[in-house]
A and B are shown apart, each in its own frame.
Chain A
Amino acid sequence: DVKVTQSSRYLVKRTGEKVFLECVQDMDHENMFWYRQDPGLGLRLIYFSYDVKMKEKGDIPEGYSVSREKKERFSLILESASTNQTSMYLCASSPTSGVFYEQYFGPGTRLTVT
């Protein structure tokens, strides 16, 4: 059974803090993704990675960076947290084999920046 875990379910940080969100998958998937989900806006892609040390910007990368040093781990970094980054953050992974690219999601981290 595919498992994607995220380091925290709930996180409260102050404006200006550096924030690390960690994601680990156990299925040897090549692709990993970070999304944020906000009411009325749906899921928006922040960054994704298709291989170790490889990354590509998604639709809303501003204010975020990522790190993928190992295949199973994909980190999202908020360099200087701001209140407009308060959101639900979801990590996902998927294989590159096959056609359908089903994505498996972690449980999410609800981040509040005060």
Chain B
Amino acid sequence: RKEVEQDPGPFNVPEGATVAFNCTYSNSASQSFFWYRQDCRKEPKLLMSVYSSGNEDGRFTAQLNRASQYISLLIRDSKLSDSATYLCVVNTASSNTGKLIFGQGTTLQVKP
């Protein structure tokens, strides 16, 4: 079983749609969770950290469910510019070296 699993998609949605991605992780001791965004042929960039209580940043909402070991990202009112690959990221928790585990990513295509 992979340490971090995501549905690779692609998710094809029209502009203005709401879309949700889920991600599961295997290490119950993980402490830090992130969503990164990666545009085509570019480097990954942090989209948002995920806090236990859930957090929102504009049209983006991230949720963490520790009991079920999954993380979600909700995008409301999708824009064409949201088209990208979204990476679910979890820290290993076994050391303090900052090592992160990246999911393979979920591809989102927003159509006009």
Q: Are A41 and B104 closer than 8 Å at their CB atoms?
A: yes
Q: Are B32 and A99 closer than 8 Å at their CB atoms?
A: yes
Indicate the size class of the contact surface on chain B.
20 to 34
Complex contacts, A94 vs chain B, CB 8 Å:
98
Q: Are A31 and B103 closer than 8 Å at their CB atoms?
A: no
Interface of B is mostly: loop
Query: Is B49 at the interface (CB under 8 A from chain A)?
Result: yes
Q: Which residues of B contact A (CB under 8 A)?
A: 31-32, 34, 42-46, 49, 87, 91, 96-100, 102-105
A-B contact pairs, 16 of them (CB 8 A): A30-B98, A31-B98, A40-B104, A42-B103, A45-B99, A48-B97, A48-B99, A50-B98, A95-B98, A96-B96, A96-B97, A96-B98, A101-B98, A102-B34, A103-B98, A105-B45
